[in-house]
Structures are given as structure tokens and as C-alpha cells.
Amino acid sequence: MEAQIFAYLAVRSLLGEPISVPETTKVPQPLSGGHAYLSSQKLSEKMIAVLKNNPQVLTGYKQ
């Protein structure tokens, strides 16, 4: 169950969706969870498309 929750939060973060909101955690504004650090392994075409559409989550990404 814990792995599923982390996967869900990771996808929301990659899509720029908030994972923390004021109503539940008292943060001042909805927050997406920071930056993604990508493995040096080959990424799937679908993951590359998600990352290209959400450049704000990229840190050190090189295609």
C-alpha cells in the first residue's frame, strides 16, 4: 500500500498537480512536491512526453 501511495504522489508531482493543500496540511498554498531526479537508465517514450510537458519538475535531465 505504501508503494502505491508514493507512486500516486510521484505522478501527481510530475504532472504539476498539488500533493499538499492548505485544507489538509496547513501549507500556505497548494504544493507539487519539488523536483524529479532522473535515473541514467533509458526512459520510456511516455515518460519523456510527460517530462517535456512539465519542465518545472526536471533537474539535470538530458535527452
**DSSP letter string, 1-63:** -HHHHHHHHHHHHHTT--SB-HHHH--SS-B----EE--SSPPPHHHHHHHHH-GGGEES---
Name the band, by pLDDT with cuts 50, 70 and 90, for residue 61. very low
How far apart (Å, rounded) are the C-alpha atoms in residues 28 and 42?
37
pLDDT of residue 37: 67
pTM: 0.52
pLDDT of residue 1: 82
- Give the count of domains, the chain: 1
Q: What is the pLDDT of residues 1-59, one digit of tens each?
A: 888 888 888 888 877 788 888 998 888 999 887 766 667 678 788 878 877 787 766 65
pLDDT of residue 36: 66
Q: Structural domain of residue 29, as residue ranges? A: 2-59
